[in-house]
């Protein structure tokens, strides 16, 4: 299906009904003003050109209205997060009531664990995938310690087998058979940051629930990349960020999913703040805490509107493109990348990301035996923005909104040249 030529890549771009979206983004350039090959949307997504207008609108409303902007701005600030909910929920396959944009990822992870990790003397262990992102590992370890458990005993790593790079579902099943009675929480990344492996969220959820465990997912590398179909997985909660595939800017706000069945459970403990309180009586000030139903009830503070404006801009672009269309392009684009890397026929190289589209998003993690960071530095000097993860992996993630087939082709050419 694929061919190893620039002509083929250009033809794919011509046939791509989403190719005009590239022009809606600021592409970083070199000193000569030429666009770099940006394959790093898994770390920081690019800036949509409309983002500055969305932010400026709020700056202007603030300048002109002051405090009145909370109610009188074109998009009033009091309910501003609500303008994001529906589109965000659609991207992750959730019902609007299950989703809220707030805080940042690790903060949300802790808030979710405050509510959903309620260990007992017998059922207290937490399972994470072995190469979970460090922040997730620190968060679960610190939750164990907070409840006076020793992470040495309480943290279970779902590991790839000796000599393998990917986690096998049957090994998670085995963990549950052996230790399920003492496990309280499965906290798994939906798509692993290092290997690019996407896990079967529904199967993991069903497995966890069979053993009466809570199941939560970190969608940092999933949201805007794969379709996690959150509601139907039945997961208890999920958290994600918006600065990667959701193109909402460095350090922008995260989001949170709480399954509908927990929407109004008075027994759930939580850390509370006034933004999670009943909107009708929030400003009466002297009421007892009355949590909003659904994910909104976990909000703490009134949120930063400027960051939310950037998220609104990005979600409008996703809505215009349609996630299904994006995913279709993504599968083809990453397939092309995979084909070209295989075509290098270089024995030092292996792709550790799964070969099957159901088990990956757009990222491929390319292991280069006995290479060091110098390889990555040379790619950078050649105009490729990718990233390097110790000990020997280059991660490249063609994002269907702004990457082209030609980007992918040029990347492979440069890699070939540098390896030779």
Ligand X SMILES: Cc1ncc(COP(=O)(O)O)c(C=O)c1O
Q: Which residues bind ligand KYN (CB under 6 A)?
A: 42-43, 193, 220
Minimum CB separation of residue 221 from ligand X in Å reads 6
Minimum CB separation of residue 104 from ligand X in Å reads 4
Minimum CB separation of residue 101 from ligand KYN in Å reads 17
Which residue is closest to ligand KYN by CB?
193
254 binds, among ligand KYN, ligand X, none (CB under 5 to 8 A by kind): ligand X
- Using a CB cutoff of 8 Å and minimum separation of 24, what contacts does 129-133 make? 129/157, 129/158, 129/167, 129/188, 129/189, 129/192, 129/199, 130/157, 130/158, 130/159, 130/160, 130/167, 131/192, 131/194, 131/195, 132/187, 132/188, 132/189, 132/192, 132/218, 133/189, 133/193, 133/218, 133/220
Q: At what angle do helices 6-15 and 405-419 cross, to 10 degrees?
A: 160
Q: Is 292 annotated as a binding residue?
A: no
- Using a CB cutoff of 8 Å and minimum separation of 24, what contacts does 286-295 make? 293/97, 293/263, 293/264, 294/97, 294/98, 294/100, 294/258, 294/260, 294/263, 294/264, 295/97, 295/98, 295/99, 295/100, 295/256, 295/257, 295/258
Residue among 44 and 78 whose Cβ is closer to ligand KYN: 44
Residue among 137 and 277 whose Cβ is closer to ligand X: 137
What are the residues binding ligand X (CB under 6 A)? 104-106, 133, 135-136, 189, 193, 218, 220-221, 241, 254
Q: Is 336 annotated as a binding residue?
A: no
Residue among 43 and 278 whose Cβ is closer to ligand X: 43
Minimum CB separation of residue 233 from ligand X in Å reads 17
218 binds, among ligand KYN, ligand X, none (CB under 5 to 8 A by kind): ligand X
Q: Is 274 annotated as a binding residue?
A: yes
Q: Is 302 annotated as a binding residue?
A: yes
Query: Can you say which residues are annotated as belonging to the binding site for pyridoxal 5'-phosphate?
Result: 105-106, 133-136, 218, 221, 243, 274, 302
Query: Can you say which residues are annotated as belonging to the binding site?
Result: 105-106, 133-136, 218, 221, 243, 274, 302
């Amino acid at each position: 299906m694929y061919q190893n030529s620039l002509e083929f890549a250009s033809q794919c771009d011509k046939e791509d009904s989403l190719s005009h979206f590239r022009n809606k983004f600021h592409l970083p350039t070199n000193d000569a003003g030429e666009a770099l090959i940006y394959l790093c949307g898994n770390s920081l997504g690019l800036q949509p050109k409309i983002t500055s207008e969305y932010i400026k609108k709020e700056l202007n409303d603030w300048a002109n209205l002051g405090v009145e902007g909370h109610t009188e701005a074109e998009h009033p600030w009091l309910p501003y997060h609500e303008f994001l909910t529906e589109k965000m929920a659609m991207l992750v396959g959730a019902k609007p009531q299950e989703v809220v944009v707030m805080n940042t990822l690790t903060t949300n992870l802790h808030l979710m664990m405050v509510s959903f990790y309620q260990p007992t003397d017998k059922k207290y262990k937490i399972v994470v995938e072995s190469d979970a992102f460090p922040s997730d590992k620190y968060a679960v370890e610190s939750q164990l310690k907070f409840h006076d458990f020793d992470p040495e005993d309480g943290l279970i790593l779902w590991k790839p087998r000796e000599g393998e790079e990917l986690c096998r579902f049957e090994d998670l099943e085995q963990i549950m058979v052996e230790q399920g009675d003492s496990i309280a929480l499965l906290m798994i990344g939906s798509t692993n940051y290092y290997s690019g492996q996407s896990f079967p969220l529904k199967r993991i959820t069903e497995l966890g629930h069979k053993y009466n465990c809570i199941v939560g997912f970190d969608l940092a590398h999933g949201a805007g990349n794969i379709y996690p179909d959150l509601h139907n997985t039945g997961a208890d909660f999920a958290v994600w960020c918006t600065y990667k595939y959701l193109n909402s800017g460095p350090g922008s706000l995260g989001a949170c999913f709480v399954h509908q069945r927990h929407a109004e459970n008075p027994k759930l403990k939580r850390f509370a703040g006034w933004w999670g309180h009943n909107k009708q009586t929030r400003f009466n000030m002297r009421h007892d805490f009355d949590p909003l139903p659904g994910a909104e009830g976990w909000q703490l503070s009134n949120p930063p509107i400027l960051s939310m404006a950037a998220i609104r801009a990005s979600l409008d672009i996703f809505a215009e493109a349609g996630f299904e269309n994006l995913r279709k392009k993504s599968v083809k684009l990453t397939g092309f990348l995979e084909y070209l890397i295989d075509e290098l026929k270089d024995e030092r190289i292996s792709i550790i990301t799964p070969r099957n589209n159901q088990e990956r998003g757009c990222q491929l993690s390319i292991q280069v035996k006995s290479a060091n960071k110098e390889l990555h530095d040379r790619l950078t000097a050649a105009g490729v923005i990718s990233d390097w993860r110790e000990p020997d992996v280059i991660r490249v993630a063609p994002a269907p909104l702004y990457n082209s087939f030609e980007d992918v082709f040029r990347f492979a050419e440069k890699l070939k040249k540098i390896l030779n």
